[in-house]
Chain A
Amino acid sequence: MNKTYAYYPGCSVEAIAASYHVSTMEVAHKLGIDFAEIEDWNCCGATAYAHVDELLANVLSARNLALAEAEGRADVVAPCSACFKNLYFANEHMLDDADLMEHMNYALEEDNLHYTGSIKVHHLLEFFVHEVGLDRIREKATDRLQGLRIAPYYGCQIVRPRKKGQVMADVEEPRFFEELIEAIGADVADFTHRLQCCGASLVVTNRKAALAMLREILDSAVAAEADVIATACPLCQVNLEVYQSEVNHEYDTEFQVPIVYFTQLMGLALGSKPKKVALGKEVVPVAKALAQRQE
Chain B
Amino acid sequence: MQFGEEVMNLLYASEGKPLSRCIQCATCAAVCPAVDFMDYTPRALIALINADEKDEVMASNTFWTCASCFACSERCPEGIRPAEMMYALKRYSIWKNQFQDGLVGPDFSRRFVRTILRNGKSYEPGYAPAFIWEGGFTGALREVQIALKLLRRGRLPLIPSRIKRVENLRRMVGRIMPLEGLE
Which chain B residues lie closer than 8 Å to A202 at the CB level?
A: 34, 65, 67
Which chain B residues lie closer than 8 Å to A245 at the CB level?
A: 142, 146
Is A98 among interface residues, defined by CB-CB distance under 8 A? no
A196 touches B33 (CB 8 A): yes
B173 touches A40 (CB 8 A): no
Is A110 among interface residues, defined by CB-CB distance under 8 A? yes
Which chain A residues lie closer than 8 Å to B174 at the CB level?
A: 110
Which chain A residues lie closer than 8 Å to B121 at the CB level?
A: 11, 14, 42-43
- In whole angstroms, how far apart are the Cα atoms of A201 and B142 in the complex? 18
- Of B19-27, B46-54, B126-134, the segment with at least 4 beta carbons within 8 Å of chain A is B126-134
Known: A204-B130, A205-B131, A207-B134. A42 touches B116 (CB 8 A): yes
A110 touches B104 (CB 8 A): no
Is A197 among interface residues, defined by CB-CB distance under 8 A? yes
Contact flags A57-85 to B (C-beta < 8 A → 1, else 0): 01110010000000000000000000000
Q: Count of chain A residues with Cβ under 8 Å from any Cβ of B?
A: 72
A45 touches B116 (CB 8 A): yes
Contact flags B142-183 to A (C-beta < 8 A → 1, else 0): 100010011001111100010111001101111111000010
Which chain B residues lie closer than 8 Å to A103 at the CB level?
A: 176
Q: By DSSP majority rule, is chain A's interface helix, strand, loop, or mixed?
A: helix
Is A51 among interface residues, defined by CB-CB distance under 8 A? yes
Residue of A nearest to B143 (CB): A246
B157 touches A14 (CB 8 A): yes
A197 touches B69 (CB 8 A): yes
Residue of A nearest to B164 (CB): A40
Which chain B residues lie closer than 8 Å to A17 at the CB level?
A: 155
Contact of B120 among A16, A43, A109, A196 (CB under 8 A): A43
Q: How far is the CB of B147 from chain A (nearest CB, A)?
A: 10
Residue of B nearest to A156 (CB): B69
Is A213 among interface residues, defined by CB-CB distance under 8 A? yes
Known: A54-B91, A110-B175. A160 touches B73 (CB 8 A): yes
Q: How far is the CB of B30 from chain A (nearest CB, A)?
A: 13
Ordered nearest first, which 3 A-B pairs have the shortest CB separation? A197-B69, A48-B112, A160-B70
Chain B residues packing against A (C-beta within 8 Å): 10-13, 33-34, 36-37, 64-65, 67-71, 73-74, 81, 83, 87, 90-91, 94, 103-105, 108-110, 112-113, 116, 120-124, 127, 130-131, 134-135, 142, 146, 149-150, 153-157, 161, 163-165, 168-169, 171-177, 182
